[in-house]
Amino acid sequence: MPISEINNKAIADLSHFVGKAKGDYSKILGDTFPSSQPTTNYVSTGLEFHVNASDSNSWLGTTTWANLTGSTDMTLYNGATKPSGSDYVAFDGNDDYGEVTWSSGDYFYGSSTDYTFWTTLSMQAVGSFPEDGTTGYIHSDAFILTIDRYQSSNMRGFSVYFGRRGIQVNLFYGTVINIGWPNTSEFQYNSSRGYYEPIPDRVYSFALTMDRSSSPHLTGYLNGSTFTPSVIEGSATQVGSISTVNGTYLNNSALRKGNGRWTYNIFQASNGANGASGHTGNYNEYLMYNTKLTAAEVQQNYDAYVDRYGPLNP
């Protein structure tokens, strides 16, 4: 008889088998998977930008990291590349960065007459951080960063990063909000820095969703789920028991998008110049939406990655 369950688990419910992605198997012990064997789809509504180092349609082996959902690709600079046999693009902490230049009419494009800031936004990333030498900890500049770097009169910057201390939202000339990672075994305590931080080379799925028109404004996610943060710092007027925050200055007077362009993995510097300092991180996947994803949608994207590429840390 065909196998219907393994250890009382329906085949259709398996996310991986012996550390492999469900999609890698057509048979187990000669038993063919049903043709309807599901593979979770990514959320497509509102998706503006999606790159994935394991997808040959996205990673082209050049300085272009192609956008899977449109024509606005990322250009990589100063040697950011995918190491042989890896499933990520490595940024070496020196001067590597990637840049996306949006065109007129794109959601993330600004103009000299339009200074309003988007009401809804979501970012989701899969990545890891290498060890800093032999310290047992990640580098002090270890984070996955997205930033609108253009700054001049009446044009202000915005950044989101997933890094050492947690999820940070930085509204230049406005406020900074830090949502600290939980004190769990997913992270390790760094006594010299005084907080929990990601474990070197451990792969995580991070997400931040935003809706400035409703409460909560911001919600952070770890591996597809909300979490209880170790700390929330900054100008927040309301903090929930999980990673949900209302920000005091999430308004157009404190933040304007300007007529610059979004960049990826680059320090903001005065007047929008490229910073000399680099960021240390390995980037498996990155998605950006013009909507606020629901909790179920963040989980769906997490499941979609695992279905295709296997568990984050088998």
Query: What is the per-residue pLDDT for 217?
Result: 85
Neighbours of 300 (CB within 10 A): 17
Place 35 in a pLDDT band, splitting at 50, 70 and 90.
Answer: very low
CA-wise closest residue to 144 among 283, 308, 302: 283
To the nearest 10°, report the CA torsion of 16, 70, 94, 260.
Answer: -140
pLDDT over 60 (residue 275): no
pLDDT over 70 (residue 312): yes
Q: Where does residue 63 rank: exposed (0-12), middle (13-18), buried (19+ CB within 10 A)?
A: middle
Query: Alpha helix (H) ranges present in the chain?
Result: 295-309
Of 42 and 267, the structure prediction assigns the larger pLDDT to: 42
Query: What is the per-residue pLDDT for 267?
Result: 35
Place 225 in a pLDDT band, splitting at 50, 70 and 90.
Answer: very high
Which residues lie closer than 8 Å to 221 by C-beta, 6 or more apart? 124, 205, 206, 207, 208, 209, 227, 243, 295, 298
Of 179 and 252, the structure prediction assigns the larger pLDDT to: 179
Place of tokens 């963040």: 298
Strand pairing class (27-28; 31-32): antiparallel
Per-residue pLDDT of 188-206, as tens digits, reads 999 998 889 999 999 999 9
CA dist 290 → 109, 114, 117, 118, 121 (Å) = 12, 17, 12, 8, 5
Mean predicted lDDT score pLDDT of the chain: 77
Query: What is the per-residue pLDDT for 91?
Result: 85
Q: Which CB contacts under 8 angstroms, 24+ apart, belong to 217-220?
A: 217/245, 217/246, 217/247, 217/250, 218/169, 218/177, 218/179, 218/244, 218/245, 218/246, 218/247, 218/250, 219/243, 219/244, 219/245, 219/295, 220/166, 220/167, 220/179, 220/244, 220/245
Per-residue pLDDT of 67-117, as tens digits, reads 999 888 888 888 889 999 999 999 887 778 888 877 767 777 655 555 556
Has domain 47-309 been given CATH number 2.60.120.200?
A: yes
Give the DSSP per-residue string, 144-192: EEEEE---BTTB--EEEEEESSEEEEEETTTEEEEEEPPSSTTEEEETT
Query: What is the residue extent of each domain of the chain?
Result: 1-39, 47-309
Name the token pair of 11: 């085949």
- Give the percent of the chain with pLDDT over 70: 67
Per-residue pLDDT of 113-161, as tens digits, reads 555 567 888 999 999 999 988 999 998 878 887 776 554 444 456 778 8
Cβ atoms 172, 157 nearer than 8 A: yes
